Amino acid sequence: MKINHSIQVDLANPGLPPRLQATQDDSVSHVLALHLKENGKAWPIPADAAVLVQFRKSDRTGGVYDTLPDGTCAWSATDNILTVALAPQVLTTAGETSLSVVLTDGQNTISTFDISLHVQPGLHKRIAKSDQYVNVFFDSGSALRAIGEKIISGKIASIVLLGDSITDGVGGTDYNGSYSESPSTNTKGYCWANAFKIFVETRYGIPVRNMGMYGTTMSTQTERALEFLKKDDFVIWLTGTNDRNGYGSYKKNIRSYLDAVREKCSGILLVSSIPSTEEDEDMAAVNMQKMDEIAMCAAAGNVPFLSMYQTFVQYCDRRGIDISECFADHVHPTDFGHYVMFLLLCKNLGLPLDPYMDYRYSSPWWNSLGKDGNESADVLILDSTVDYSADPHEQVTLISDIVPCVLMDDYDSVSVSTAVSDLTITRAELYVGTAGRITIGTVDLNGVGKESPTFVESKTFETTETGMVTFQLDMEVGANQTLAFQSTDDTGRLGFVIIPGNLYIWQSKDYQAGSPSVDLILYGKIYGR
């Protein structure tokens, strides 16, 4: 049973809005045939156009969709005629409903003027929960799974997690971020980004950088991302919370932001942010539901999209969880809120989680990684990948006065020690610029200012890949010893970044002279216990 409504729609001249009639709770029975025109002439619909239907009901709830609840496409196009089926959620509330259709073709977007739909009250009250209805084909299917398949198969070289303070990890336990508009320094705190980072790096060996920037809007995130992104990076971008009060600019520019960043990296997954508390939603110019819809429309036909907003609401609703209990304040999630975000991201990407593993903050999984302060666990000792925007592809020619490069972080000439002295170094994640033989070992700090550094003990590795490589060391560093990297006869080359300042790596000549190097950093991370 179908009721067909034929409507003349001039994209250049709105005229009076068409006004249609329907009955409350009608189910997939009304079909709109929109005859699109431009100044009275037929307007041909682009062959590769994507279509989204937006609606807002009399109770101020609404949604966006391109797919009906049974999985069928909600629209079709022939010449200048766009046929759209009304989803059941459009007709759940009596009163005046506004509806428009958005067409996207590559970087271009055009919307119809509003269509007025008068929904007459039904004779019985069967009103479904009607707010936040989202059903978008590209959101729920192949695009997200394709990204997950690339992660599993190792076809993504590196991942950058971009966003604001929610990505930075505010609200989670042990947060140690910078509270600035700089890439995250939160290396210890439990949050969705760090849980995802540890999961992907441990399971798939793909380096993940948390680049959440506290207090930023999408404009600032874009500006900063263009400084540090590399062409091999795949970006997962959580957006929207700080843009609510400037949503007009956000709506106008979001596609250009996406395009600018996409040109800099290998790909983007756009993720809408979670809801905030009811009190916070009332204070903002628009709520997160509206921001979710704006992001979804911007992503359509442009980049893959995940509605974290919608999936978060559904997760809590199905389990009887009060959403307000998921927040440490009005905006930032608790440990549990961050856990739900991590869980939903993995599930939507199709990344298989261990069914017997608890990934929450209090779990052995997180604690075994040293996040509970357990001295016997593997913990991050040094991270030189967070605050530096320089490209690690810059490499130093390995000549005698450069190697071995000696780690001198927190060097104390009185105690004759560094940050890694008297520790077991379990592993190092270092950037390999040229595959081949790589040497890592220990040197005696008593030789500083007296002689060239020589290895006390060392291990050699034959690397076959470039990029971030994990070296399993399990190396005991003595009380008066430190780590050193590379030998003159190595065939492989580690990546160095040239940055002015007093840095933690000393060149061989500087070790011999007893004076710090001022321009050299080894790009990577060191773990120990």
Domain boundary among 318, 337, 371: 371
CATH number where 162 lies: 3.40.50.1110
Q: Are residues 155 and 275 in the same domain?
A: yes
pLDDT for 68 equals: 79
Whether residue 22 lies inside any domain: the answer is yes
Q: Which residues pair with 78 in a beta bridge?
A: 81
**Angle at 9 (CA atoms; ends 4, 10), nearest 5 degrees:** 165
Domain boundary among 309, 338, 371: 371
pLDDT for 391 equals: 54
Query: What domain range includes position 202?
Result: 137-371
Give dist(CA 432, CA 445) in Å, integer: 26
Whether residue 387 lies inside any domain: the answer is yes
Give dist(CA 152, CA 353) in Å, integer: 12
Whether residue 29 lies inside any domain: the answer is yes
Domain boundary among 61, 93, 127: 127
Domain count within the chain:
3
Whether residue 85 lies inside any domain: the answer is yes
Q: Are residues 342 and 479 in the same domain?
A: no
Q: Are residues 501 and 412 in the same domain?
A: yes
Give dist(CA 405, CA 440) in Å, integer: 10
Give dist(CA 377, CA 508) in Å, integer: 32
Q: Are residues 358 and 398 in the same domain?
A: no
Whether residue 132 lies inside any domain: the answer is no
Whether residue 503 lies inside any domain: the answer is yes
Q: Are residues 114 and 162 in the same domain?
A: no
The one-digit pLDDT tens for each residue of the chain (529 residues) are 678 888 888 888 877 778 888 888 776 678 889 999 888 899 998 887 888 888 888 877 777 888 777 777 888 888 889 999 888 888 888 888 888 888 877 557 788 888 888 888 865 443 334 444 555 444 445 688 889 999 999 999 999 999 999 999 999 998 888 667 788 888 889 999 999 999 999 889 899 999 999 889 999 999 999 988 999 999 999 999 999 888 888 988 999 999 999 999 999 999 999 998 887 777 777 888 888 888 888 887 788 999 999 899 888 888 888 888 899 988 899 999 999 999 999 999 999 988 878 899 988 888 765 443 333 456 778 877 755 455 555 566 667 778 899 999 888 888 899 989 988 898 898 888 888 999 999 999 999 999 999 999 999 999 888 778 888 888 999 999 999 999 988 999 888 777 666 568 898 999 999 988 777 778 888 888 7
Whether residue 160 lies inside any domain: the answer is yes
Q: Are residues 383 and 366 in the same domain?
A: no
CATH number where 64 lies: 2.60.40.3350
Closest by CA position to 509, among listed 374, 404, 417, 361: 404
Q: Are residues 207 and 282 in the same domain?
A: yes
Q: Are residues 325 and 187 in the same domain?
A: yes
Answer positive or negative: Cα dihedral of 406, 412, 418, 422.
positive
pLDDT for 374 equals: 37
Return the structure tokens found at 2: 């179908």
Q: Are residues 117 and 145 in the same domain?
A: no
The beta-strand segments (E) located in 66-184 are 75-78, 81-85, 95-105, 108-111, 115-120, 133-135, 158-163
Q: Are residues 116 and 223 in the same domain?
A: no
At 352, which helix (H) or strand (E)?
none
pLDDT for 397 equals: 66
Q: Are residues 293 and 409 in the same domain?
A: no
pLDDT for 392 equals: 53
Whether residue 121 lies inside any domain: the answer is yes
Is the Cβ–Cβ distance between 302 and 258 less than 8 Å?
Answer: yes
pLDDT for 395 equals: 62
Q: Are residues 313 and 169 in the same domain?
A: yes
